[in-house]
């Protein structure tokens, strides 16, 4: 295995709760601080896979995760980030779904 690419842990940390609440309030410095603390704790527990999706807390989870990594870019070498995209909430076009249309 590549020396710069970590082996995936058997457990994955789901980042859905990062970034504050499921609301239209912007992420705060406290949310970034919390994300950094969580990242450090999870890595200390030998969990190195972080699961994201573009809809988690309406995008704020990815925002605060990215800000935390700006504070400590060396952490990127210790983790694997997996993400999902194109998830859509229920709307007039249908139920909650993945949307890979060309819109």
- pLDDT per residue as tens digits for the range 41-67: 999 999 999 999 988 999 999 999 999
pLDDT (0 to 100) of residue 100: 63
Which sequence positions are flagged as catalytic? 56
Alpha helices in 26-98 (DSSP H): 29-44, 60-71
Encoded tokens for 90: 């229920």
Encoded tokens for 82: 């997996």
pLDDT (0 to 100) of residue 98: 63
pLDDT (0 to 100) of residue 41: 98
d(CA 54, CA 97): 13
| Beta pairing, strands 80-84 & 49-53 | parallel
Residues in the chain where the model's pLDDT stays below 70: 1-6, 95-103
pLDDT (0 to 100) of residue 1: 44
Encoded tokens for 74: 């060396």
């Amino acid at each position: 295995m590549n020396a710069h690419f970590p082996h995936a842990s058997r457990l994955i940390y789901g980042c859905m709760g990062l970034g504050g609440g499921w609301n239209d309030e912007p992420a705060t410095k406290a949310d970034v601080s919390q994300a950094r603390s969580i990242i450090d704790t999870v890595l200390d527990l030998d969990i190195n896979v972080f699961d994201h999706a573009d809809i988690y807390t309406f995008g704020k989870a990815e925002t605060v995760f990215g800000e935390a990594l700006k504070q400590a870019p060396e952490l990127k070498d210790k983790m694997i980030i997996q993400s999902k995209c194109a998830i859509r909430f229920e709307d007039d076009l249908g139920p909650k779904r993945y949307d890979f249309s060309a819109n």
